[in-house]
Amino acid sequence: MSRKPYQRELPKTTWFLRHARYKKYMLHEISAFAVAVYLLILIIGLFRLGQGEEAWAGWLSFVTSPFGLILHLIIFGLSLVHTTAWFKAVPQAMRVQRGEQFVPGPTIVGAHYVVWAAVSVFVLILAGVA
């Protein structure tokens, strides 16, 4: 009997609409845009800082404009998406074996959250005190 296998193609640009887990993955991937835009703003800010008080004030007025705020809120949201997804994946990518046991995933993830909190508080204190 002759064979005639049928090949179904995955739609190259819309495949991720097919399943909730793919959409979640794409949201995480998209966070790269947020990181890129934020870094662009930040680097411009550093240049402005070097150019003097007036230039810096101009940059600050962009940040505090309604558009600047909305932009940063979106970036903030996506940065949280990245952080939570990244921490969740750590135990998969990095297993720690002690004798016959592995350090449980939740312990590793929990440790990351503790460090995250410490780092964040440190930066906030720096900002509040500086």
Range 31-90, binding another protein (CB under 8 A): 31-33, 35-36, 38-43, 45-47, 49-51, 53, 56-57, 60, 63-64, 68-69, 71-73, 75-76, 79-80, 82-83, 86-87, 89
- Return the number of the residue (36 or 110) whose C-beta is nearest another protein: 36
In the complex, least distance from residue 58 CB atom to another protein, rounded to whole angstroms = 11
We find the least distance from the C-beta atom of residue 130 to another protein, in angstroms, to be: 5
Q: Please give the torsion angle defined by the CA atoms of residues 72, 84, 124 and 67, in that order, rounded to the nearest 10 degrees.
A: 0
Total residues contacting another protein by CB under 8 A comes to: 79
The interface with another protein within residues 88-127 (CB under 8 A) comprises 89, 91-95, 97, 99-102, 112, 115-116, 119-120, 123-124, 126-127
Burial of 32 (0-12, 13-18, 19+ CB in 10 A): exposed
Of the pair 1, 106, the CB lying nearest another protein is at 1
Distance between CA atoms of residues 17 and 38, nearest Å: 27
CA distance to 22, 23, 84, 86, per residue, from 19 (Å): 5, 7, 20, 20
Q: Which of residues 4-33 bind another protein (CB under 8 A)?
A: 4-8, 10, 12-13, 15-16, 18-19, 21-22, 25-26, 29-33
Give the distance from CA 16 to its chain's centroid: 19
What are the Cα distances from residue 26, in Å, to 13, 14, 30, 77? 12, 11, 6, 15
